[in-house]
A and B are shown apart, each in its own frame.
Chain A
Amino acid sequence: MKLLIKNGRVVDPASGRDERADVAIAAGRIVTVGGVSGDFKPSRTIDADGLVVAPGLVDLAARLREPGHEHEGMLESEMAAAVAGGVTSLVCPPDTDPPLDEPGLVEMLKFRARNLNLAHLYPLGALTRGLAGDTLTEMAELTEAGCVGFSQAEVALKDTLVLHRALQYAATFGYTVWLRPNDAWLGNGVAAKGPLATRLGLSGVPVIAETIALETTFALVRDTGARVHLCRLSSAAGIELVRRAKAEGLPVSCDVSINSLHLIDVDIGYFNAAMRLTPPLRQQRDRDAIRAALADGTVDALVSDHTPVDADAKNLPFAEAEPGGTGLELLLGLALKWGAESGLPLAQTLATVTSAPVAVLGNALGSLAASAGRIVEGGVADLCLFDPGVHWRVEPGALRSQGKHTPFAGLELPGRVAATLVAGHVAYEAVPASR
């Protein structure tokens, strides 16, 4: 199928290109950007006048809940949510039930995702069997099955010896290890340690839970040379440690979630369980540091940390409520909101959810997939067309995700997705009348 996208404002964060141009697509690839020849005979033309034509979003943290938590989300619902949010590639952590520690599970997930033909799915394999922290998984087999890295998800690895060996082994083959820095013993609270948690009588996670884990990780990275991606930093002190590690030249990258980018602990209000999130929401100065670090590149990528949670699991006292919120459909809007509030050019804002996360994935992606997050001739035609001028209100009931709980319910967000293309086919299209 040949497709022509006419009159759009093409924004390619990687090259800094931002201009009105036509985009010609054939056989799943971008053929020409600008100056499309009259010989190109599209079977369909999309008029993108007034729309931004951006690379499809790449989300480095989205839980699809399959296998094991199908009552909270399934590939059908969550992949539909992804493309409705302009997300064309997503990385899912291995904390399914059972965890993604066997090639068969990964192959099944990849197979189901391919059949749905919505977004591209890149699973992370479990770093240890059952995420139990004892035995390494078959990393080469899992990579062959489609894993792009290895992770302990939310289960902190207590045994430093096992973590050391896991990094040595991963470094042998050039695999990236994804870790959320959280000390296993200090990191068990339900809110960030601070005046709010003390006042509400909630158990607090101190900042040192994050910084101790980071210091340990950096020492192990120095020793092993392993490449580590640090997931969802939450504190100003943590950001500062990553800044220094990068300056030192350690092979590390990191991301932050939309939650930590926009919210703080006082948003918990009167025990609002929608604000029960991991990592927990911290204080104003932490949020300020996170926003600045995402703008200056210390933080590589912005992630949705999409976690659909069942109503029964949220309608509980705060500490008992399951952490997480739905986010795939909010990633673009919350990125644009942050970018506008920070006074950033559109291309720089979009880089945090397109080209920068692809750079984090690096050579784990195949050759064609590595062109995701960019708009280049010959690259994969994963695109997000959105109207930057339209604001919309987050109505939980209207979300496509099976998870209806979000801390951003009722918020007005900029940027409405008009269409999402995945490998050259239209995977999502808004009702034209609503444009």
Chain B
Amino acid sequence: MLSRRNPQLNAHGELIHLLSIEGLPRAVLTQILDTAGTFLSVNDREVKKVPLLRGKSVFNLFFENSTRTRTTFEIAAKRLSADVINLDIARSSTAKGESLLDTIANLSAMHADMFVVRHSESGAPYLIAQHCAPHVHVVNAGDGRHAHPTQGLLDMYTIRHYKRDFAQLTVAIVGDIVHSRVARSDIHALTTLGVPEIRAVGPKTLVPSDLREMGVRVCHDMAEGIRGADVIIMLRLQNERMSGAMLPSAGEFFKNYGLTPDKLALAKPDAIVMHPGPINRGVEIDSSVADGRQSVILPQVTFGIAVRMAVMSIIAGNNA
């Protein structure tokens, strides 16, 4: 049977791909967060570039549409002096019937050094990592419902920035957990970093009981879920889930689980409010909360660039 070694680590336990936060040692996560801290200052300089990836080609392979994540990866790679090639594959080669691995083989022949991959199927970046040349690095920019590790890391960076220590925190993740790769990556990161209480909050259609096995407390009641929380992570409710068999309507969801000032008052007074974006005002979050003093939604975006620079520079420095 196949080897069970975590495919994102080399034989020395160093990160060569970033596919998921699951299974990464705490030291690796801390290294990424610390490195991101040093890059944050680069973003404030007049010349926002360091030469760490000079001469390297980073291919953004987005098999699923995204503007925000692709842009932040592009900015991060350019600030590391890499050459960035954006491929909107959702509209090109696979539409012509080319298989995923054929696309990868062709791009490898163009001497790619790194693939940043978004795909609608869970596990697709693992397949790519298993089939690309040994010197090529793969960064998962979101695969199906499985993982969005750089989002998870930037969320950890944000929490550490505002709360310093993970060891005393209560973190509530609210909304559509079952379909959320962000929630899964956050849960793995928070458990690895030692957060004692992680709550998953939402109706039973969106918060399956199996989540308990990932080390979270499942709460179907919003008040119970956010009472006393230090951090509230609101998830985006996708349009296609807003009505149907998962939920009757966006309005009813907002009534029960939308974050309003009243509900936020149940959390700790210094609680921070996070959201991976893009936000649906009036669906999962009230505008006065999204724009309020406890919201750190925009700093998350800024930190995201530094975290992606850290990930790319670290994996590019490690060999398979």
Residues in A lying within 8 Å of B, measured CB to CB: 193-195, 197-202, 267, 269-274, 312, 315-320, 407-411
B1 touching A411 by the CB < 8 A rule? yes
Measured in the bound complex, the distance between the Cα atoms of B210 and A200 in whole Å is 12
Say if the beta carbon of B2 comes within 8 Å of chain A: yes
A201 with B184, Cβ < 8 A, contacts A267-B1, A312-B99, A316-B99 known: yes
* B122 in contact with A271 (CB, 8 Å): yes
Q: Is the CB of A317 within 8 A of B119?
A: yes
Binary CB contact string for chain B from 121 to 138 against chain A (1 if under 8 A, 0 otherwise)? 111101100010000000
Interface stretch (choices B46-54, B75-83, B139-147, B269-277): B139-147
Does B101 interact with chain A (Cβ within 8 Å)?
Answer: yes
Q: Answer whether A201 and B1 are a contact pair too, CB < 8 Å, given A312-B99, A315-B127, A317-B127.
A: no
What residues on A are CB-neighbors of B184 within 8 Å?
199, 201
Q: Are A199 and B214 closer than 8 Å at their CB atoms?
A: yes
* Most chain A beta-carbon neighbours within 10 Å: one of B99, B124, B127, B131: B127
Asked if B100 CB lies within 8 Å of chain A CBs, one says yes
Q: Contact check, B210 vs A202: say whether CB atoms are below 8 A apart.
A: no
Contact of A198 among B2, B6, B131, B211 (CB under 8 A): B211
The count of chain B contact residues (Cβ–Cβ below 8 Å) is 30
- Choose from A201, A270, A315 the contact partner of B145 (Cβ within 8 Å): A201
Instruction: Determine if B1 and A409 form an interchain contact, defined as CB atoms under 8 angstroms apart.
Output: yes
| Complex: chain A residue closest to B188, CB-CB | A199
Q: How far is the CA of A316 from the CA of B122 in the complex (A)?
A: 11
Q: 1/0 contact trace for B1-26 toward A, CB 8 Å?
A: 11010110000000000000010000
Tell whether A198 pairs with B146 under 8 Å between CB atoms, given A269-B2, A269-B4.
no
Residues of B within 8 A of A315 (CB): 99, 101, 127, 131
Q: Is A271 a contact partner of B214 (Cβ separation < 8 A)?
A: no
Q: Which of B15-66 contact A (CB under 8 A)?
A: 22
Q: Say which residue of A270, A318, A407 sits within 8 Å of B121 (CB atoms).
A: A318
Contact of B210 among A194, A316, A407, A410 (CB under 8 A): A194
* Chain A contacts for B1, CB-based, 8 A: 267, 407-411
Report 23 cross-chain contacts, Cβ distance below 8 Å, ordered by A residue.
A193-B210, A194-B210, A198-B208, A200-B122, A200-B123, A201-B122, A201-B144, A269-B2, A269-B4, A270-B6, A270-B7, A271-B122, A315-B131, A316-B100, A317-B119, A317-B127, A319-B121, A407-B1, A408-B1, A409-B2, A410-B1, A410-B2, A411-B1
In this complex, what residue of B is CB-closest to A409? B1
Which B residues from 257 to 290 make CB contacts under 8 A with A? none
Interface residues of B (CB under 8 A from A): 1-2, 4, 6-7, 22, 99-101, 119, 121-124, 126-127, 131, 143-147, 178, 181, 184, 208, 210-211, 213-214
Contact A272 B124 (CB under 8 A): no
Provide the bound-state CA to CA distance between A354 and B1, in Å.
28
Q: A199-B22, A199-B184 are in contact. Are A317 and B121 (CB under 8 A)?
A: yes
Knowing A267-B1, A269-B4, A271-B127, say if A198 contacts B122 (CB, 8 Å).
Answer: no
With a cutoff of 8 Å between Cβ atoms, the chain B residues found around residue A407 in the complex are 1
Q: How far is the CA of A105 from the CA of B184 in the complex (A)?
A: 49
Using A271-B127, A317-B122, A408-B1 as known contacts, list a sample of 9 further A-B pairs with CB atoms less than 8 Å apart, ordered by residue number in A: A194-B210, A201-B122, A201-B144, A270-B123, A271-B123, A316-B100, A317-B124, A317-B143, A319-B122
A411 to B208, CA, bound (A): 35
Are A201 and B210 in contact, CB atoms less than 8 angstroms apart? no
Report chain A residues within 8 Å CB of B208.
Answer: 198
* Contact partners of A201 in chain B: CB under 8 A: 122, 143-147, 181, 184
- Chain B: minimal CB distance from A252 (Å): 31
Which residues of A sit under 8 angstroms from B178, Cβ to Cβ?
198
Shortest A168–chain B CB gap in Å is 33
Q: How far is the CA of A312 from the CA of B22 in the complex (A)?
A: 29
A200: which B residues are within 8 A, CB to CB? 122-123, 146
Nearest first, the 8 closest Cβ-Cβ pairs linking A and B are: A271-B123, A201-B145, A201-B146, A317-B121, A195-B213, A198-B210, A201-B122, A317-B124
Bound CA–CA A267/B4 (angstroms): 9
Report the minimal beta-carbon distance from B63 to chain A, rounded to whole angstroms: 10
CA distance A408 to B123 in the complex (A): 21
Within 8 Å by CB of B214, from A193, A198, A272, A317, lies A198
Q: How many Å lie between the Cα of A200 and that of B214 in the bound state?
A: 11
Residue of B nearest to A311 (CB): B101
Q: Which residues of A contact B131 (CB under 8 A)?
A: 315
